[in-house]
Structure 1
Amino acid sequence: MPVIMPVAVNLERFSHHLASYLDADQVNLVRRSYFYAEQAHEGQRRSSGEPYVTHPLHVANILSEMYMDHQSLMAAMLHDVIEDTAINKMALAAQFGDTVADLVDGVSKLTQMEFESQAEKEAENFRKMTLAMAKDIRVILVKLSDRLHNMRTLGALRPEKKRRIAKQTLEIYAPIAARLGMNDIRIEFEDLCFQAIYPMRARRLEAALKSVRGHRKELVETIRSDISSRLERDNITANVTGREKHLFSIYSKMRSKKKSFKEIMDVHAFRIVVDSVDECYRALGSIHNLYKPIPGEFKDYIAIPKANGYQSLHTVLVGLHGQPIEVQIRTQDMNALANQGIAAHWLYKSDDQDYVGHARARKWVSGLLEIQQQAGNSLEFIENAKIDLFPDEVYVFSPKGKIVELPAGATAVDFAYAVHTDIGNHCIACRVNDRLAPLSRQLQSGERVAIITSEAAQPNPNWLKFVVSGKARSAIRHFLKNQRHNQSVELGARMLDQSLEPYTLSLDSLSTEQVDGLLAACKLDTLEGLLEEIGLGQRPPHTIAQMLAASEGANAHHNTAPLVIDSPDAVVITFARCCRPIPGDTIAAHTSAGKGLVVHQESCRNLTEIRNSKPESISPISWAEHVSGEYVVGLRVEVASERGIIANIATRVSEQGAGIEKLQVNERDAQNMVILITLTVSNRKHLANIMRRIRVMSPVIRVTRSKN
């Protein structure tokens, strides 16, 4: 589709167009909003030198081409008033009503807040817009139209600013347009962004496209005529047109498929528009009789629509001279929805809340809202939202036959969270097509997925390595943050109690006055916040204990009892990689900001250095009488080179019930090599048994516990 460049729009011509589908009173309200904006922006000019009010008029004109309602058009006229003038939301509401004021506020950027970076500013503005979208989907339509006119008029800006705006448009607004099914706007966004980011490539590609278009005309017309004749012979009324490839689409395919321009242009594309769904399938059969279809290239998006509501039949045929022919078959309504997406809801004046494009848009926005509520900050939110703007989807079935749409590359964990957050949080296994499968396995369209849950289960941090949907990522992170917070508070309470013990004080014995005084001294609002900082290693518990003891005039009477470790699963207890302590080792710990307690072997040189430089950060710690879980440890095995020795060692390790996490082989010389094994064991006795089993092997020279 060729890029539409801006043309001058005057109020009278614009009003005349509005009169073709709006009431006279509504047209007058839109005109009044224009004059209000003209007065508000008095003296302001765009980078091009034009009066600023020309911009909102163009934005409203873009919306009027979609036949949007009068409130959307009024919001378009006024969309920069709150942001760029002294007029506030209350003043707008008094003049034009709460709905229009809310729409304008939803599109307006946050200008009163200071941000650390441009990325944070953009992310926070996107978060604000998402909240407004959840209340009224028209917010995003005004924003897309605003961004479209800005992209059409980038010419007056500096090259670096052009590229920044174009990059953001390509990453966020073009995918949003695609998500809402607004294909015309998406295509124009992509081509304008391509021209702004890679002007030289765009010019060369456009020149190549023009030269090849003339040569193709006759062949394209022949194929179009053959298809039309066959459909007419089969009594199918249809409009057959050749589809023009747009610049960015050609460029993307050349890069992703590593194909030349000639290879991309050898594919001819056609669209067949018919009157009914029944005729779609009849037309498909008709052209399959005309040209041979390529196996595996047929997609039925009518039976299973895309996430944005797009419906069509796609097939690829082999033409007379062997050239591929791509064909889309759809009805008139499907064609309007494919090009205008959610805007077709207003074009048809549909009051039906289950209208396919509108319902799916609401579902997507509610999903964005859930991600927003679980995200820790705006940058994390926009990262997860971008993931959910993937253009490709897979369609899988629940055990009851419900279709679930997921991004390409999604796993069973993504599916579990798509069904419900609680199912995701408690899933332990899955069945794909009635067979047990790994949770990390990528799903394919058409598969049936069942999730196995357990009340005792909880999200695994390793899931973040393979989940692809924004909802799954945000839900897992949200759970881990809460878990980290709770464990930090619990550890902080234990550490503070431990430090108070020598003074015969405890957390439970502190009075409200003592707690308030302590919080005032630490400049914190809650005791929970203080305990979290202690647990995360951001405040030494000894210092807090001394402050409380000093206020009570108490002296230390005995030594501190050590904290006890009973499992490796605490988020805020870290086992040092330098010495890899395991149950049975003599241990000590130090507090580290952000990590909480870091546990070392007592003999570790790093701990000795910390003890000398920061003695106040050292905490006494010991193993519980009964310790559960698996602990990582390293072995260094020196062996004589022999065929199959690595496999034999791995077998002996697994026979002892240990897991191998990593195995590295270093050749010392032609006869000898060193094998470094990272494995999981339950305690020192378990490790000793493994070392004994390896040591008795004839090629083994020496087995020692390794330290990083």
Structure 2
Amino acid sequence: MIRFNDIIEEVLKYNPQADVEALQKAYIFSAQAHKGQTRLSGEPYLIHPLEVAYTLTKMNLDVPSVISGFLHDTIEDSFVSKEEIESDFGKEIAELVDGVTKISKIPLKTSEETRVDNFRKMILAMSKDIRVILIKLADRYHNMQTLNFMSPDKQIEIARETLEIYAPLAHRLGIEWLKGELEDISFKYLNPAEYRMISEKLAKTKKERDSYINEVKELIKEKFQQFNLKMEIRGRAKRIYSIYRKMVQEELNIDDIYDLTAFRVLVDNVKECYLALGIIHAFFKPIPGKFTDYIALPKANMYKSLHTKVIGPHGEKIEIQIRTHEMHRLAEEGIAAHWKYKEGKVFDPKEDKVFAWLRRIIESQQELKDNREFMEVFKIDLFPDEIYVFTPRGDVKELPKGATPVDFAYAIHSDLGHRCIGAKVSGKLVPLRHKLRSGDVVDIQTHPNHKPSKDWLGFVVTSKAKTKIRQWIKTEQRERSIELGRALIEKALARHDLSMSKMLKAGDFLTIAKEFSFETVDDLFAGVGYGLYTPLHVLGKYIPESDKPSKLQKIISTIRKGKDTTIKIEGVDGLVVRFAKCCNPIPGDKILGFITRGRGLTVHVADCPNIHTYDDQRKVPVSWELNKQYAYPVRLRISGEDKKGLLSEISAVMSAHKANILSAQAMTYPDKSAASIYEIEIGHMSQLQKIIKSLQKIKGIRSVERMRGNA
């Protein structure tokens, strides 16, 4: 357990002039505020702020940040006001604590929309003071360490959010040790079978791995001594989640991965980095295509190092990183190593290249009103795997891996992206969906009358390209839909001898628009043009009930038939409902509806990739309304060992949870692994989660995943 003295000891290591009295005052304030409170573990609540403050010292943060670590929960969980904190500790610390409180208030069990609003608040808080998110990361880290005291459902939800949002944020801020810790803990709860298998393998091989690390270290030291080059070498085991990612990406078994360790060579200056690289390549055969120079071209978080892979002494692959001691400090401390508070200046992300990604997210936050689009853009900018390409003038542009000429064009200017019709890459014409590689020289060809295509959304990868293309398409579609909706309504009015122009002048259409919750008449016309409503719906609001012809009533009645009693549609009545085959939603899934002209409403899972390519104006909120018990087909892919009786154990789990098996396929592989695909009928997501959890407990099963569509 962390003690107050441990925190003081750590602070004084990197800041000998630290205000110890202020830290002690904050500790006492926190102890009094949380007196009598306990955590789910039964431990005194004070343990949590102590752990958070200690983590902040591991980041080498300034005294106000550590004080805020002690106080970060006092406003939310105690009867303490922001004004009290400002009175006792000053405005700077009050703002930090208030910033953390604002992004912690939303409960986890809430709607997706509300959670996205929470992330928007987090981005705004980051833009004002980056220390807010560093304190939040420290808070999340300790919460993850005590996740075992939460319910299984919350464990999975919190772990997924951490893996998708907080671990990438730690990476973007350059705090690699924290990123690795958050990934491994999240993975432990999200895929316990695979986590257990990899950790057991690492434990079994620890002795021989340690021996191997010492052997390679001595061998490299010996080579460097021949050149009188002073250096320090370290060896380490790779992290569990990193190993799992490699297994998935390269379709390997744990026994097929030989480079479970990595080595780091530390030297005094940049010149010695390249000299060290030459020595290593002279004595160990380099693997072609496996060298990356992050010194000449640093990562977005300013990480610098030379990465190379070579053939080791026993014919195995070895990963070696070469960097200066200063580069290593930057890599370990991340954003704290760039700190400007030490100089008494407020950190401005606009002035620092490290925060180019944050500026992009802030722009998206302002431009994108749709929360799902914002989250998609947010996640794109959080997962950097950069390439470096050049303009014809020789300027370097940093893009994510998989970027296309269209992404490159938008990175330079929105107008260049809109007018892009082709590209030359290193002198050769390529298709617009061509994937760029580091070192490419890209020359964009344009036409003044060209417009973006909706098809581009299928291959562009940068947040800026996706945002600008969608904005253009929305504007174009809205204008066309207003024209179409107006024409359809005018035609329907003419059948009843009603004048569009007279109704517009009288303000009748604005009244009707308000009844449909639209702000303007154009919004109403666009709604009809998109297919959200029919002209008959509009007429139904205008023609008095007694005057409606029976024919109109019959038509409206026909439109309203076929409503699925399992789905509640907000703001729209009477559409025929069907479920999307691409994602097969089941009760318990977060869902979203899409209105298709002439086909009614199609229900998708909220995070279905397909629905994000559709027009937002035709998406409608829907929810489950279960009046009857229905059976829904679900497909599961189960991977594990090829062992006798495994299929019988799987079937027994299905039967125990009252799931009807519709079909089953089993496959075995030469490496003694097996995979099976089961199609079962279930009634609700909670039933499916129990089945998956039970299957993961079966010895020999490595992973259980729900399959979407016909995948």
Q: TM-score, normalised by structure 2?
A: 0.70
Deviation at 1:184, TM superposition (A): 0.7
Cα distance between partner residues in 2 of 1:458 and 1:34: 60
Counterpart residue number, 1:407: 400
Deviations 1:268-309 (A, max 9, x none): 532110010001011111222222222222221111112222
Cα distance between partner residues in 1 of 2:57 and 2:337: 12
1:29 corresponds to which letter in structure 2?
A
Summarize the Cα distance change of 1:356–1:223 in structure 2 as closer, same or farther, 3 Å threshold.
farther
Counterpart residue number, 1:385: 378
Deviations 1:166-203 (A, max 9, x none): 22212222122222221111111122223333445434
Counterpart residue number, 1:466: 459
Counterpart residue number, 2:671: none
- Tell whether the 8 Å contact from 1:137 to 1:362 is kept in structure 2 after alignment: no
Q: Secondary structure at the match of 2:263?
A: strand
Counterpart residue number, 2:134: 141
Cα distance between partner residues in 1 of 2:330 and 2:299: 12
2:310 corresponds to which letter in structure 1?
L
Deviation at 1:83, TM superposition (A): 3.4
Cα distance between partner residues in 1 of 2:30 and 2:472: 46
Among candidates 290, 305, 320, match of residue 327 of structure 1: 320
Counterpart residue number, 2:519: 525
Deviation at 1:214, TM superposition (A): 1.6
Cα distance between partner residues in 2 of 1:441 and 1:61: 48
Output aligned runs, 1:576-591, within 5 Å.
none
Deviation at 1:259, TM superposition (A): 2.9
- Tell whether the 8 Å contact from 1:429 to 1:439 is kept in structure 2 after alignment: yes
- Tell whether the 8 Å contact from 1:374 to 1:475 is kept in structure 2 after alignment: no
- Tell whether the 8 Å contact from 2:406 to 2:432 is kept in structure 1 after alignment: yes
Cα distance between partner residues in 2 of 1:518 and 1:29: 62
Counterpart residue number, 1:297: 290
Q: Secondary structure at the match of 1:292?
A: coil
Cα distance between partner residues in 1 of 2:56 and 2:184: 20
Deviations 1:79-103 (A, max 9, x none): 2334334545555455544443443
Q: Secondary structure at the match of 2:339?
A: helix
Deviation at 1:157, TM superposition (A): 2.0
Deviation at 1:351, TM superposition (A): 7.9
Cα distance between partner residues in 1 of 2:340 and 2:264: 22
1:300 corresponds to which letter in structure 2?
D
Output aligned runs, 1:51-450, within 5 Å.
51-87=44-80, 89=82, 92-93=85-86, 95-108=88-101, 117-265=110-258, 269-346=262-339, 349=342, 359-450=352-443
Deviations 1:6-44 (A, max 9, x none): xx1222442344345558784433433334433443433
Output aligned runs, 1:670-689, within 5 Å.
none
Deviation at 1:460, TM superposition (A): 1.0
Counterpart residue number, 1:507: 501
Percent identical across equivalent pairs? 40
Counterpart residue number, 2:528: 534
- Tell whether the 8 Å contact from 1:123 to 1:382 is kept in structure 2 after alignment: yes
Cα distance between partner residues in 2 of 1:440 and 1:170: 29
Summarize the Cα distance change of 1:253–1:525 in structure 2 as closer, same or farther, 3 Å threshold.
closer
Q: Secondary structure at the match of 1:272?
A: strand
Summarize the Cα distance change of 1:443–1:353 in structure 2 as closer, same or farther, 3 Å threshold.
farther
Among candidates 458, 461, 479, match of residue 486 of structure 1: 479
Counterpart residue number, 2:615: none
Output aligned runs, 1:484-633, within 5 Å.
484-500=477-493, 503=497, 505-507=499-501, 510-511=504-505, 514=508, 517-519=511-513, 524-541=518-535, 544=538, 594=595
Cα distance between partner residues in 1 of 2:107 and 2:334: 36
Deviation at 1:426, TM superposition (A): 2.9
Deviation at 1:429, TM superposition (A): 1.9
Cα distance between partner residues in 2 of 1:164 and 1:394: 32
Summarize the Cα distance change of 1:443–1:361 in structure 2 as closer, same or farther, 3 Å threshold.
same
- Tell whether the 8 Å contact from 2:129 to 2:347 is kept in structure 1 after alignment: no
- Tell whether the 8 Å contact from 2:532 to 2:595 is kept in structure 1 after alignment: yes
Counterpart residue number, 1:475: 468
Cα distance between partner residues in 1 of 2:206 and 2:107: 51
Cα distance between partner residues in 2 of 1:357 and 1:334: 23
- Tell whether the 8 Å contact from 1:410 to 1:469 is kept in structure 2 after alignment: yes
Deviation at 1:364, TM superposition (A): 0.9
Q: Secondary structure at the match of 1:108?
A: helix
Deviation at 1:342, TM superposition (A): 1.4
Q: Secondary structure at the match of 2:205?
A: helix
Cα distance between partner residues in 2 of 1:345 and 1:295: 34
1:270 corresponds to which letter in structure 2?
F
Deviations 1:432-455 (A, max 9, x none): 112221111111111111222334
Summarize the Cα distance change of 1:124–1:547 in structure 2 as closer, same or farther, 3 Å threshold.
closer
2:129 corresponds to which letter in structure 1?
D
Deviations 1:414-442 (A, max 9, x none): 22222233332332222211222111111
1:141 corresponds to which letter in structure 2?
L
Q: Secondary structure at the match of 1:243?
A: strand
Cα distance between partner residues in 2 of 1:547 and 1:46: 55
- Tell whether the 8 Å contact from 2:339 to 2:347 is kept in structure 1 after alignment: no
- Tell whether the 8 Å contact from 2:293 to 2:307 is kept in structure 1 after alignment: yes
Cα distance between partner residues in 2 of 1:299 and 1:184: 21
- Tell whether the 8 Å contact from 2:340 to 2:346 is kept in structure 1 after alignment: no
Q: Secondary structure at the match of 2:257?
A: helix
Deviations 1:33-80 (A, max 9, x none): 334433443433211112223212211110112221122223322323
Cα distance between partner residues in 2 of 1:213 and 1:114: 41
2:397 corresponds to which letter in structure 1?
V
Q: How many residues align?
A: 554
Cα distance between partner residues in 2 of 1:207 and 1:518: 66
Deviations 1:560-587 (A, max 9, x none): xxxxxxxxxxxxxxxxxxxxxxxxxxxx
Larger Cα Rg: Structure 1 or Structure 2? 1
- Tell whether the 8 Å contact from 2:258 to 2:317 is kept in structure 1 after alignment: no
Cα distance between partner residues in 1 of 2:104 and 2:348: 36
- Tell whether the 8 Å contact from 2:237 to 2:260 is kept in structure 1 after alignment: no
- Tell whether the 8 Å contact from 1:399 to 1:449 is kept in structure 2 after alignment: yes
Report which stretch shifted further, 163-172 or 355-364. 355-364
Cα distance between partner residues in 2 of 1:495 and 1:543: 12
- Tell whether the 8 Å contact from 1:353 to 1:359 is kept in structure 2 after alignment: no
2:61 corresponds to which letter in structure 1?
M
Q: Secondary structure at the match of 1:388?
A: helix
Summarize the Cα distance change of 1:118–1:537 in structure 2 as closer, same or farther, 3 Å threshold.
closer
Summarize the Cα distance change of 1:39–1:539 in structure 2 as closer, same or farther, 3 Å threshold.
same
Summarize the Cα distance change of 1:215–1:533 in structure 2 as closer, same or farther, 3 Å threshold.
closer
Report which stretch shifted further, 42-51 or 75-84. 75-84
